[in-house]
Amino acid sequence: LNCFIFDSFRFLIKGGLAGAAVYVAYDQGLLGSGTQGAEALKKAQETLPPAIQEWTSYLGWEVRAAQLPPTPKFDFSLSDAWNKGVHTVMSALSVAPTRACEYTMEGWKYVKDLVK
């Protein structure tokens, strides 16, 4: 019984953390359109270095600006990557019947050669 309560409590904590993470992602616009995601990334890039500096000064760590790595620059368009993936899948699906017929004919030819 004690193990059941502990497992249930742990499950509720994990579920609450997952729900909070989804809520924060939705609230910040990360689950919206590509432009909303880009705005959220820009906002994070602007606020993260000052927040790190504030936390390190609060904790008593001395961190100079030169020691912090630069904020990574992302030149990635999610919509372009998605569109490229859709085009690739559709092109593979469009040639699938032809390729399947070719492979079937090659298979029959191979089987006939084995039987001879």
**Interval 79-114: pLDDT, tens:** 788 888 889 999 988 988 888 899 999 999 999 998
Phi first, then psi: give them for residue 73, nearest 5 degrees. -100, 125
Q: What is the DSSP letter of 32?
A: S
Number of independent structural domains in the chain? 2
Q: Please check the confidence at residue 65 and state whether its pLDDT lies above 60.
A: no
- Residue owning tokens 């059941």: 4
Which ranges of 1-116 would DSSP assign to H, the alpha helix? 2-27, 34-59, 78-115
| Percent of the chain residues topping a pLDDT of 90 | 15
How high is the pLDDT of residue 64? 56
How high is the pLDDT of residue 68? 60
How high is the pLDDT of residue 1? 62
- Domain contains 60: no
Mean pLDDT across the chain: 80
Of 114, 111, 45, whose CA–CA distance to 74 is shortest?
45
Q: How far apart are CA 39 and CA 64, in angstroms?
A: 28
Count other C-beta atoms under 10 Å from residue 49's C-beta: 14
Instruction: Tell me which residue range forms the domain holding 83.
Output: 78-115
- Domain contains 63: no
Judgement on whether residues 43 and 84 belong to the same structural domain of the protein: no
Judgement on whether residues 82 and 42 belong to the same structural domain of the protein: no
- Of the three residues 48, 70, 87, the one that is the final residue of a domain is 48
- The SS3 assignment for 57 reads helix
pLDDT tens per residue across span 42-52: 777 777 777 77
Of 17, 16, 41, 19, whose CA–CA distance to 30 is shortest?
41
- Domain contains 91: yes
Judgement on whether residues 39 and 82 belong to the same structural domain of the protein: no
Judgement on whether residues 1 and 44 belong to the same structural domain of the protein: yes
- Domain contains 55: no
65 or 40: which carries more pLDDT confidence?
40
- Domain contains 39: yes
